[in-house]
Chains A and B, each alone.
Chain A
Amino acid sequence: MTNTKIVYGLYGDDDDLLKAVKSIRKQGITIDEVYTPFPVHGLDKALGLKKTRISDIAFFYGLFGTTLASTMTWFIMNHDWAQDIGGKPSFSWGQNMPAFVPIMFELTVFCAAHFMSWTYLFRNKLYPGAAPQNPDPRTTDDKFMIEIHTTDVEKIKNVFVETGAEEVTLKGDYIQPNVNNLVQEEA
């Protein structure tokens, strides 16, 4: 077994968190995860996260919807049963295309929105009944947590304390997480 440990630093304010993230990354330490109760503006930049491609794929989902609707209306209205319904020209798809625009539009939006949402849930590993992904319940309320995987626990602990962490904990080592807390007075 490797002796890699997981250290958590808990912060009480989003501005402190941002400063801490920037300072930790400047010291060349890799941040493995950050848990926040709300989207902190600029955090993804500070962490150096790549831009998400979820909107790019949504475009192709939308194109799929348009194609589906065009093919379906052509097949049903012009190919399978090319009937005269109220004098609408059914000789070719193009002639009656205006009547298909609402369907094409709706299916485009439908496919783009739903498939993108499924992709989002899948990529984030979110599904009904999944175990909570945050190690500390306070991070959905008003606390902000940085997670670092390290072999040098003492160094990381000090880094957290220096950047203003309210609480520093080591994963799995304590029965009560509060026993070894290093509580930092307000700087």
Chain B
Amino acid sequence: MSHYESQVREPLIKGHKTYHDISNDIARPIESKSGKLWWTAFGIAFVAFLVGVGCIAYTVGTGIGVWGLNRTINWAWDITNFVWWVGIGHAGTLISAVLLLFRQKWRMSVNRSAEAMTIFAVVQAALFPVIHMGRPWLMYWVFPIPNQFGSLWPNFNSPLLWDVFAISTYFSVSVVFWYIGLIPDFALIRDRATKPFAKKVYGILSFGWGGKAKHWQRFEEISLVLAGLCTPLVFSVHTIVSFDFATSVIKGWHSTVYPPYFVAGAIFSGFAMVQTLLGVLRKVFHYEAYITRKHIEYMNIVIVVTGGMVAVAYLTELWIAWYSGSRYEDFTYFSPGAATGPYWWAFWALIICNVLIPGLLWFRPIRRNFFWTFIISIVVNVGMWFERFDIIVINLSRDYLPSSWTMFMPTFVDVGIFVGTNGFFFVLYLLYARTFPVLPQAELKTILKSSGESYKKHHTEDEHHEH
């Protein structure tokens, strides 16, 4: 009776699972050997990763001139990819922190993988601020470290320095939040392990966790406080990323709508990436009982809501560009100068991928369909890449002085580094999926009796008996 939940809600754990079944399902991928599919995927990702390593080494060894940048368009694929990866990372924190604050129980079977995605995506993002420097070996000069130059400090007025603080705080806090949640799950794997090596490794990783009552009490408190801290953090990080553009004097960039609009876009693309990854994960790991159609639908609703916010921002940009009366704003990426300019194809790719196709998620049969969800999630990420490309490149290519107008063409090094970060991301993600508990056992077990399918049925039968 204490576990009563409205029958209106669809069950979040399907089938007749017990606590022990949940443990078994979570431990299975860790305790079994990798199959052909995993090795193939890992091989492809690793090759892509090596391509990226090669291109980065070439860039650093030769100079930034091997990229397609020019004196007008001095930010292009580097920062596009940086913002893209940071944006992808945001859904993880959103799922684990914001949805925790809102007591959304459906986040439980999604959050672990989403947080892993956050961390691996932020790793990719963090590469770009370093490798796009002309002298990356002097990177440590951005930190306020007392030094022999009379103590020469960084300039705290620059959003690029704020970025350093934002990204490093975001990364480190996300890792800690993720890890503290993992400790009880590592303890489960440790206590099941039969091989001495695995027992040793998970023994170290689980920090000696024993599930004492007081420890759980503190665990729940710290999870809640970390969620409370991560929520403003996730909003601030992408806000600060948007300041890179919004605090400039470039037309099309100096817009006050950027902070919320970038955050909405980040959630939009982040959730799309979660959909792409979970769409595969639930099939390969046979997690259909935990990542149900309802989970996919919930995430699609978030995508359609944030996609709507992004669309409103596009319209705002267009309206303000016209309403400002500034002739320069005519080249804002959503204005006639861009829609019909030389980058018209990038502009229309954005509109099609971010506004029109995700609009299909308004239809219930589509947002509850695994196949279409998977396709749309990929389309959204393509669209969000174009959004950043458009913001950066279109606005830079046609600036205040017509004598500086130019076009941008990426080189194979630009492309290679982007491919490399995708490879690196999947290398990390694939290794994670084989060694980490990808579903949080401790959290799922707390909702089994309230939201498990068999328990919910049980309650209805009880009521029939009483009447």
Which A residues contact B (CB, under 8 angstroms)? 14-15, 33-41, 43-44, 47, 49, 52, 54-55, 58, 72-73, 76-77, 80-81, 85-86, 88, 96, 99-100, 102-103, 105-107, 109-110, 112-114, 116-117, 120-121, 123-134, 137-142
Contacts and interface: CB of A to CB of B under 8 A. Distances in A.
Contacts of A121: 207
Contact of B156 (A43, A77, A110, A140): A77
Nearest to B217: A44
Interface string B300-321: 0000000000000000000000
B226 A113 contact: yes
Contacts of A139: 191, 210-211
A109 B156 CA distance: 18
Contacts of A55: 221-222, 224-225
Given A72-B144, A126-B207, A140-B209, 13 more contacts: A55-B224, A80-B151, A85-B155, A85-B157, A102-B166, A103-B162, A109-B232, A110-B173, A117-B176, A120-B218, A124-B215, A134-B212, A138-B191
Of all A-B residue pairs in the complex, the 3 with the closest CB atoms, nearest first, are: A130-B208, A133-B210, A142-B19
A33 B216 CA distance: 12
A77 B154 CA distance: 9
A125 B441 CA distance: 22
A44 B213 CA distance: 7
B208 A37 contact: no
Interface in B142-178: 144, 151-157, 159, 161-162, 165-166, 169, 172-173, 176-177
Interface string B332-376: 000000000000000000000000000000000000000000000
Interface stretch (B79-87, B182-190, B383-391): B182-190
Contacts, number: 204
B204 interface: yes
Interface in B220-241: 220-222, 224-226, 229-230, 232-233, 236, 240
Given A39-B446, A140-B188, A49 B217 contact: yes
A129 B449 CA distance: 34
B324 interface: no
Q: Among A80, A86, A128, A142, which residue has the most Cβ atoms of chain B within 10 A? A: A142
Interface residues on B, range: 35 or more
Nearest to A75: B153
Q: Among B162, B213, B240, B243, which residue has the most Cβ atoms of chain A within 10 A? A: B213
Interface of B: 2, 18-20, 23, 144, 151-157, 159, 161-162, 165-166, 169, 172-173, 176-177, 180, 183-184, 187-188, 190-192, 203-222, 224-226, 229-230, 232-233, 236, 240, 243, 441-443, 445-446, 449
Given A102-B165, A117-B176, A129 B213 contact: no
Contacts of B161: 103
Given A47-B213, A55-B221, A125 B157 contact: no
Contacts of B154: 76
A158 to B, nearest CB: 23
A140 B441 CA distance: 9
Given A39-B216, A120-B218, A141 B188 contact: yes
A102 to B, nearest CB: 4
A36 B208 contact: no
B195 to A, nearest CB: 15
A76 B144 CA distance: 9
Contacts of A134: 187, 191, 209-212
A17 B402 CA distance: 76
15 contacts: A14-B449, A33-B213, A35-B212, A35-B213, A38-B184, A38-B443, A55-B225, A76-B153, A76-B156, A99-B156, A102-B165, A103-B156, A133-B209, A133-B210, A140-B184
Contacts of A127: 207-208
Contacts of B153: 76-77, 80-81
B191 A137 contact: yes
A98 B305 CA distance: 31
Nearest to A59: B225
Contacts of A107: 165, 169
Contacts of A36: 211, 213, 216
B180 A15 contact: no
A36 B215 CA distance: 10
A112 B154 CA distance: 24
Nearest to B191: A137
B208 A52 contact: no
B214 A132 contact: no
B23 A141 contact: yes
Contact of B209 (A81, A85, A99, A126): A126
Contact of B225 (A58, A81, A124, A130): A58
B156 A100 contact: yes
Contact of A142 (B23, B232, B233, B243): B23
Contact of A116 (B204, B222, B236): B222
B218 A128 contact: no
A76 B158 CA distance: 14
B188 A37 contact: yes
Given A44-B217, A103-B165, A132-B191, A141 B157 contact: no
A129 B192 contact: no
Nearest to A41: B446
A114 B184 CA distance: 19
Contacts of B20: 141-142
A33 B129 CA distance: 50
Contact of A35 (B19, B156, B210): B210
Contacts of A138: 191
A43 B220 CA distance: 12
Contact of B218 (A54, A96, A106): A54
Nearest to A138: B191
Nearest to A77: B156
